[in-house]
Amino acid sequence: MVYQDAYEVANEYVPGARLRAQDFLELLNRFRSSYLKSICYNERIASNRSPDSVRNEMLNGLREYLSAMQNRPELKDHSDPGVSSYVCTKLTDMWRADDRLCSLYDTICLYCQTCNRDLKTTMIHVAEYRSLNKLFHKERRRSQQ
């Protein structure tokens, strides 16, 4: 199975379509499971004599992919003049500053309104980054046990 990144997934949606909170949660699960299937992770863990080596290989691949994702223009924030940061960092700052925000979905919606960004594009790219970042940290904790 070939991994579908955010660019390919975005092409599946009708231009201008608004994603609901449920769609966002489905995207999170889709990116995680798609990545694991693309590297045949479960089969390799089950059949390998050294599952730690498979896990470490996956962690290295994920680390490289997440670093490359941070260079995507869709995940860069240029809302403050002269300052370049990441959308995910800006979302974290917004989340911590406003306790009326109930979910990451709400935070992304507010960010897109505030910074005049395309909601669908931002949401899909953030979903991919967040999904794989959580997978990375979960597997890293598991390998350290």
Q: What is the pLDDT of residue 83?
A: 76
Q: What is the pLDDT of residue 62?
A: 96
Sorting pLDDT into bands at 50, 70 and 90, what band is 126?
A: very high
Q: What is the pLDDT of residues 98-116, one digit of tens each?
A: 999 999 999 999 999 999 9
Q: What is the pLDDT of residue 81?
A: 77
Q: What is the pLDDT of residues 5-33, one digit of tens each?
A: 999 999 888 777 789 999 999 999 999 99
Distance CA 140, CA 82 (A): 35
Reported as type and span, the H/E element at residue 76 is strand 76-77
Q: How far is CA 81 from CA 30, 50, 116, 117, in A?
A: 35, 50, 14, 16
Best CA proximity match to 13, nearest among 37, 1, 30: 30
Q: What is the pLDDT of residues 50-75, one digit of tens each?
A: 888 999 999 999 999 999 999 999 99
Sorting pLDDT into bands at 50, 70 and 90, what band is 145?
A: confident
Q: What is the pLDDT of residue 16?
A: 73
As a whole number, mean pLDDT of residues 71-86 equals 86
pTM: 0.92
